[in-house]
Amino acid sequence: MTRKILHLDLDAFFCAVEEHHDPSLKGKPFAVGGKAEQRGVVASCSYAARMYGVRSAMPMGRALQLCPDLIVVSSRHGNYSEVSKKVMALIEISPLIEIISIDEAFIEVTGLPNPLIEIAQDLQKRVNMELELPISIGGASNKLVAKIANDWGKSQKKGPNPPNAITIIPPGEETAFLAPLPVRSLWGVGPKTAEKLEEIGVTTIGALADAPAATLKMLFGRFGPDLRQRARGIDNRPIETEHEVKSVSNEVTFSKDLTDEVQLLQVFRSLSEQVGRRLRKASLAGTTVQVKLRWSDFTTLTRQTTLPSPTNLDHEIYETAQALFQSNWPKGRPVRLIGVGMSGLGPPIRQLSLWEDNYQKEAELLSAVDELCERFGRDIIQRARRIDRHQSKDPNEN
């Protein structure tokens, strides 16, 4: 039986939610994100704004240069999650749903008797009418082609309005559909891979499908034959209804570049505590600590190190992050962004030695602190040095 897969993508989701909240925004160039003076970035932008060249992840200052009349709307993340849940509940016509993000999902509907186009039209109508949100849908015999079909269908509709497109690729036509598309459209082909392919004259997916297997293996190793299979529209990946958490991270972009080491380390400690709290809440621990640094010229580097035992303790995460930072930061160089992350996740199981008998006590203490913070807010318990810093201020200071 031929599989029937749909890829659903809410068009400019954050903007659509904001338009629903404030109908006066419809048809206008606006962006959801942070303020330009606080170095905010564009989280999402309306299709009217895209006509000026504004794009997601663009610095808001640059977006305002491209579109001086751009309306900047602060994000309301809680509401987005609520609306997303309503959408996912509405499209639950099959138990095989793979949620990719807050505004994107795959659904396998192989067991339904209706043609794929009818199923897609019915789902789109539901979301349009019941939630007043635009949604584009791609359909095919596998996830790869369904996703590319949706991206292609959306790109064909120009103008200030959301595409609200439906693009279905019938079984047997996958290779022909993919053939003329740029090789960069193929899932798994990033800029570096595309450059290597273009060096041997491969610029379309069809050319990649016809490329000699030996050449691709020489260039990309075991990944080469897999690329060739994808270029031919072959993808046997199942719908994944559950996702394993692979990493936990937190980062912050400063409104003004920081050069003071004490301030930077304070932020590193706060980020380490946030990561530790999230790990403990998920009953996880990690073995690899990663730090992310971005300089004022947007140059970004990441550094990581693997620990001998898994941990979710704040101080162990912080001490490792601190060491990575200090060994990779040229003192005094302005820092725009820092981040702390943990990977290599699994159950918080640790083989204790004679010298680590305080580990369990600290883990239990932090769990108790987490519970208090959850009930009464994060400021209910503060580190002694933070209290000392506040108390050392002039009593007459505001």
Could you write out the three-class secondary structure of 276-291? HHHHHHCCCEEEEEEE
Q: Which of 55, 77, 99 is the C-terminal boundary of a domain?
A: 77
The CATH number that applies at residue 53 is: 3.40.1170.60
Q: Is residue 368 part of a domain?
A: yes
Find out whether 165 and 154 touch, Cβ atoms under 8 Å.
yes
Q: Do the domain assignments include residue 277?
A: yes
Residues 251 and 380 in one domain: yes
Domain boundary among 77, 102, 132: 77
- The answer to whether position 359 is within a domain reads yes
Which CATH number fits the domain that encloses residue 107? Answer: 3.30.70.270
pLDDT at res. 352: 46
pLDDT at 358: 53
Number of domains making up the chain: 4
Specify whether 262 is located in the same domain as 316. Answer: yes
Partners of 71 in the β-ladder: 30
Q: In which element (H, E) is residue 1 found?
A: none
Same structural domain, 226 and 279:
no
One domain for residues 123 and 150: yes
What is the bridge-based pairing of β-strands 71-73 and 30-33? parallel
Going across the sheet that includes 42-45, the strands are 42-45, 30-33, 71-73
Same domain, yes or no: 104 and 152: yes
pLDDT in tens, 121-141: 999 999 999 999 999 999 999
Query: pTM value?
Result: 0.72
Print the domain residue range for 340.
247-391
> What pLDDT sits at residue 373?
55
Per the residue annotation, which of 104, 173, 319, 362 is the catalytic one?
104
pLDDT value, residue 366? 55
**Dist. CA 293–CA 336, nearest whole Å:** 8
User: What's the confidence (pLDDT) of residue 178?
Assistant: 98
- 193: helix, strand or coil: helix
Does residue 193 sit within a domain? Answer: yes
Separation CA 168–CA 185 (nearest Å): 17
E strand residue ranges, the chain: 5-10, 30-33, 42-45, 71-73, 97-101, 104-108, 135-140, 166-168, 247-258, 286-295, 300-311, 335-343
- Asked whether residue 101 is domain-assigned, the answer is yes
Residues 89 and 147 reside in one and the same domain: yes
Residues 278 and 308 grouped into a single domain: yes
Q: Are residues 226 and 90 in the same domain?
A: no
Is 396 within a domain? no
**Residue 127 · residue 133 · CB < 8 Å:** yes
pLDDT in tens, 321-378: 999 999 999 999 999 999 999 998 888 765 444 444 455 555 555 555 555 555 555 5
Q: What is the pLDDT of residue 134?
A: 97
Q: Is 104 a catalytic residue?
A: yes
Give the separation between CA 186 and CA 178, rounded to whole angstroms. 9
142 and 104 both lie in a single domain: yes
Q: Which residues of the chain have pLDDT under 50?
A: 351-357, 380-381, 384-398
List the strands of the sheet with 286-295, edge to edge.
Answer: 247-258, 335-343, 286-295, 300-311
In this structure, is residue 214 part of a structural domain?
yes
Same domain assignment for residues 99 and 155: yes
